[in-house]
Amino acid sequence: MKWDWIFFDADETLFTFDSFTGLQRMFLDYSVTFTAEDFQDYQAVNKPLWVDYQNGRDHFITASARAFRELGRTAES
């Protein structure tokens, strides 16, 4: 398939994705309540992990497992 256009929007000037609502809906699919406080805790863990990943210091799967652990959950729950 040939694409005529590809849009990059790293700073959300064209499209806005509400990550809190997205995560809240995802957790709701698994009958888990995800609050604004949970999102703040998630961001505190997730942002530094993404920096490590982007700088080649951590593998994404390892970082994801670490994020769940630091939030007091397992990837299976």
User: Please, are residues 34 and 27 in contact by the beta-carbon 8 Å criterion?
Assistant: yes
Q: What confidence tens digit (pLDDT) does each residue in 15-60 have?
A: 667 888 988 998 899 898 889 998 898 888 888 878 887 888 877 6
Catalytic (active-site) positions: 9
Q: Which pLDDT band, with edges at 50, 70 and 90, does 76 fall under?
A: low
Q: What confidence tens digit (pLDDT) does each residue in 3-16 have?
A: 888 777 666 666 66
The domain limits of the chain are 42-77
Identify the residue with better confidence: 6 or 75. Answer: 6
Using alpha carbons, select from 7, 62, 67, 5 the residue that is nearest to residue 39: 67
